[in-house]
Amino acid sequence: MRFRGSTDRAVPPGKACHRRVGAVFLLGSCLVGNAMRAEPEDAGGPCAGAEVAARSATEALDRGEWTRAGELLRPLKAAGSTCPAVALGLARLRAKDGDTAEAERLFEQATTLAPDDPVAHAQFARYWLSRGQPARADYEVSRALALDPGCPEGLVVEAEILNLKDRPREAFETLGTAARLGPENAEAQYQLGVWLFRANRHAEAVGQFEKAAALRPADARTLDYLALGYEALGEGERADETFERALQVNDRGPSFDPFLDYNYGRFLLKVKRLDESAAYLDRAAALLPHSRGVHYERGKLNLARGDYERAREEAEHALSLRDESGTVLDLQVYYLLATVCARLGETELAKKYADLARTTPIPNQD
């Protein structure tokens, strides 16, 4: 089980789902790391005159309010050469914008200015994870946790690294500690929720996603998972409302969720709102053209509409695509093709796919 390291997250609640590691940078609540804390206005320290704005920017970044954070931090750019909080905030903004060279320079600057601050090292570790460099992430998070073993930001990154090392039980325990020690840390609550969701512990997962959504209300990923959790618990109306909330905040940014249109389109198909489903599944196909799940759901949609030729095309396309996440199994596509071919009067093909659906084993079901 991995957290966000594969290409397909998604669909039916209860299925294993995977997410790409995203560049979501937190700053927050370690008990050690006083160098990063704001100083009094008259302290005359390296952050003198910038501390109030830096603190407000940090809070905005933690809530996912990137525009507001930029408005607060950009006038402080000069202070970033001496104030670690400003340097770290600017690093997060540059990373969000994809300016990796400047982001790395600023992360280096922040950790140099505040070498004993665990948050700075934990944020630098998360950045390296987002860049696909786990060895560098491991080094930085080790520095963070050496400074403060109870740093939630560091523990969350450590859990993701443990997952990459195929140590999911240790990752779960580490996330539980992070969520307990960092009740105001949205990423800790979110990542623990993801683990619980994948373990089919949906009621517990929903509780975690509700906490994360309260802390970071503009995060579409959290709301998407929360909607899936409500759906898994049979709370369709709440799921629908939460999908709609997610759509309202799903703009192009660090928390953009490319799976949201797919998940909502599948949900709408399930509740027989076919025209609405088609609109979202069409958008999902543009975002995820190589997703088996998207084409499988579009095949089911066309079957429900009576357009059997298009249903067959979509199902055959789905079958041609790999789905290592196990979201849509081969036997499911075979069953869809058997049904479609039967409706088209192609009895031999229908029998062939029905036999395949009946005899194809479910993976990992020894």
**How far from 308 is each of 132, 355, 357, CA to CA, in Å?**
43, 20, 19
Smallest CA-to-CA distance from 123 within 197, 198, 26, 189 is with 26
Polymer length in residues for the chain:
366
Identify whether the C-beta of residue 92 lies closer than 8 Å to the C-beta of residue 57. Answer: no
Q: Structure tokens of 85?
A: 């909080």
* Rounded Cα distance, 178 and 61, in Å: 19
pLDDT in tens, 119-142: 999 999 999 999 999 999 999 999
| Sequence-ordered list of residues with C-beta below 8 angstroms from that of 74, at least 6 positions apart, any chain | none
Domains of the chain: 258-366 (1.25.40.10)
Smallest CA-to-CA distance from 37 within 75, 72, 84 is with 84
The DSSP output letter for 333 is: H
Per-residue pLDDT of the chain (366 residues; tens, 9 = 90+): 333 333 345 544 333 333 333 333 333 456 434 444 444 344 457 887 888 899 899 888 888 888 899 999 989 998 888 999 999 999 999 998 899 999 999 999 999 999 999 999 999 999 999 999 999 999 999 999 999 999 999 999 999 999 999 999 999 999 999 999 999 999 999 999 999 999 999 999 999 999 999 999 989 999 999 999 999 999 999 999 999 999 999 986 667 899 999 999 999 999 999 999 999 999 999 999 999 999 999 999 999 999 999 999 999 999 999 987 788 999 999 999 999 999 999 999 999 999 999 999 988 654
